[in-house]
Structure 1
Amino acid sequence: MENQRELALQAWCEAVTGHAAGRLKTVSGDASFRRYFRTSDGNRTLIAVDAPPPQESLQPFMAIAAAYGNAGVAVPEVVAFDEAQGFMLLSDLGSTLLLSELSNASMTRWYKLALQDLPAIMQVTETAQGPLPAYDEALLRRELSLFHDWLLERHLGLRLNASQQLIWQSFCDTLVTNALEQPQVGVHRDYHARNIMVTGDQQLAYIDFQDAVKGAVTYDAVSLLRDCYVRWPQKRVSDLSAFLFNELQRQNVIDAGVSLTKWQRWFDLMGLQRHTKAAGIFARLYHRDGKSGYLQDVPRTLGYLHDVAAAYPEFDDYRLWLAKMVMPALADSR
């Protein structure tokens, strides 16, 4: 089936461009059903996207790309699309992911560039299709439940007893409250070093934004600085978080009455929500979609959960449960 779609996509690309580029070259798949290929129109390379309906829709990507472009955010240009087939041609941003450019020496410079693009992304709370979906309580809880359903029960075979259930519920309630009490802004929702491209002129451009929502002001920042795929020293993360805090207060995105301590709690707890969700998704990608590569990232996400929770005495019971039950079960499963 995948091969048939690939041939159909190739034929569509050739019909659109009038250029027989031949076999498509795989660029990547991702954690969804979308696949990406490189092709040519005879003058320049292009990215061909296969987003099979009904699992995927091109509309959110195209609407958000237009809104981001209007806000001055660098994103791929939509060259052509066929919504019925789920095919799209995009301008080619190159092959250099920000992840491959990061080092101890360069990370501060690169991350400051990315953080300085966030206020423009935060401005985008609607597109030509209407308002972005709200990152509301229902969605936050649905994401948190991925950890319980897919990592704990399905992957590790853990069942929570009554007292553990209370610890888990209290943890989730606190994270949901934290997310909803923050200023609600435009959120990319997958803002990390594998979704940021370094272009030929050493600027940054952004991809994989089709799930954008209106949600917590710290969400994209913590996705970037506490990346599921790479971990940096806490001091550097805190310094960069404070850099963004000052930038957002200067631009009146957050109220002058919000303290850095308050911001840091927002940031830390938002990271706990994201890493809880991510660990669940990584397990689901393995069990439901047959993608085993993401399992190697689960220990890092649990490490973040354990270490960040340590800064907040209200999470002592949760952290103890994580350390005594969940982390050993994960180590055994490997």
Structure 2
Amino acid sequence: MALFRDWFLIEHLKLELNPQDERILRQTFELLRESALGQIQVPVHRDYHSRNIMMLDDESLGIIDFQDAVLGPITYDLVSLLRDCYVAWPAVNVEAWVKEYYALARKAGLMGAISEMQFMLWFDWMGLQRHIKVAGIFSRLSIRDGKSAYLDDIPMTLNYIVQVSAQYDGLSEFHSWLQQRVLPLLNYDLPALEAES
């Protein structure tokens, strides 16, 4: 998540971080890290999104770019696909798909005592962690590597960050900080995504 701080905030937005900014970032990153580490660990692709799923000649699906697969949080690939940086799904569909995944994982014996509510929190916070990191990656790809097209994908990523941080009391300070310190620096409006239910 340091990529968000270093490449998105400092390099891309030119935000001069003060001690309070640093504290809010540190506390938020720690909450998200603890949530990820508290999740059931399973094999994850780590880059499971629309651009890495291909339709093959026989109309079956092929998955590419899996060389970084590791053991990781159970919600990681799910959030990568359903809160894709390039495709916005209707919130009602996302919620239904997450609940269906949870039910299948429970049936497979993966959930133990984890409630659907806890799984949804894991999903949301994993998505927040992923989008924070991706905003930094996209900024770095533009600044360091000259791939400025990635900047076009930052608004949807930021919108996910804003929406999820608004839903949880534990993230309220981070959400307020985004509203006061980060969003005013943008030279574009965030896209209108369907409100989460």
TM-score range, shorter chain: over 0.9
Q: 2:24 aligns with which of 159, 164, 167?
A: 167
Q: C-alpha displacement at 1:251, in angstroms?
A: 1.0
Once the two structures are overlaid, the 10-residue window that deviates more, 317-326 or 284-293, is 317-326
Partner amino acid for 1:247? L
Residue number in structure 1 paired with 2:77: 220
Give the unaligned 5+ runs of structure 1.
Answer: 1-143
Contact 1:302 1:327 in 2 (8 A): no
Residue number in structure 1 paired with 2:8: 151
Residue number in structure 2 paired with 1:325: 181
- SS state at 2:71 partner: strand
Q: C-alpha displacement at 1:175, in angstroms?
A: 0.3
- SS state at 1:194 partner: helix
Question: In structure 1, how many angstroms separate the alpha carbons of the residues matched to 2:56 and 2:111?
Answer: 31
| Residue 119 of structure 2 is aligned to residue 263 of structure 1 | yes
Give the number of the structure whose residues are more often helix, by fraction.
2
Structure 1 residue ranges (4+ consecutive) displaced by more than 3 angstroms after TM superposition? none
How well do the aligned residues superpose, as a CA RMSD in angstroms? 1.3
Question: In structure 2, how many angstroms separate the alpha carbons of the residues matched to 1:216 and 1:159?
Answer: 33
Question: In structure 2, how many angstroms separate the alpha carbons of the residues matched to 1:313 and 1:292?
Answer: 35
1:237-295 CA-to-partner distances (Å, cap 9, x unmatched) read: 1110111111111111221x111000000100000010001000000001111100000
Residue number in structure 2 paired with 1:97: none
Contact 1:185 1:214 in 2 (8 A): yes
| Residue 51 of structure 2 is aligned to residue 194 of structure 1 | yes
1:152-184 CA-to-partner distances (Å, cap 9, x unmatched) read: 001111022122211111100000000000011
| Residue 97 of structure 2 is aligned to residue 240 of structure 1 | yes
Aligned pairs for 1:65-214 (under 5 A) are: 144-214=1-71
- SS state at 1:289 partner: coil
Residue number in structure 1 paired with 2:152: 296
Q: 1:280 aligns with which of 106, 117, 136?
A: 136
Question: In structure 2, how many angstroms separate the alpha carbons of the residues matched to 1:331 and 1:316?
Answer: 24
Give the unaligned 5+ runs of structure 2.
Answer: 189-197
- SS state at 1:331 partner: coil
Partner amino acid for 2:37? L
Equivalent residue pairs, number: 189
Question: In structure 2, how many angstroms separate the alpha carbons of the residues matched to 1:324 and 1:198?
Answer: 43
Question: In structure 1, how many angstroms separate the alpha carbons of the residues matched to 2:57 and 2:48?
Answer: 20
Q: C-alpha displacement at 1:315, in angstroms?
A: 1.1
Partner amino acid for 2:47? D
Aligned pairs for 1:36-47 (under 5 A) are: none
1:76-133 CA-to-partner distances (Å, cap 9, x unmatched) read: xxxxxxxxxxxxxxxxxxxxxxxxxxxxxxxxxxxxxxxxxxxxxxxxxxxxxxxxxx
Q: C-alpha displacement at 1:320, in angstroms?
A: 1.3
- SS state at 1:230 partner: coil
Partner amino acid for 1:289? D
Q: 1:231 aligns with which of 79, 83, 88?
A: 88
Partner amino acid for 1:313? D
Residue number in structure 2 paired with 1:254: 111
Contact 1:184 1:214 in 2 (8 A): yes
Could you tell me the percent identity over the aligned residues? 47
Q: C-alpha displacement at 1:232, in angstroms?
A: 1.5
Q: C-alpha displacement at 1:203, in angstroms?
A: 2.0
Question: In structure 1, how many angstroms separate the alpha carbons of the residues matched to 2:179 and 2:122?
Answer: 23
Question: In structure 2, how many angstroms separate the alpha carbons of the residues matched to 1:309 and 1:234?
Answer: 15
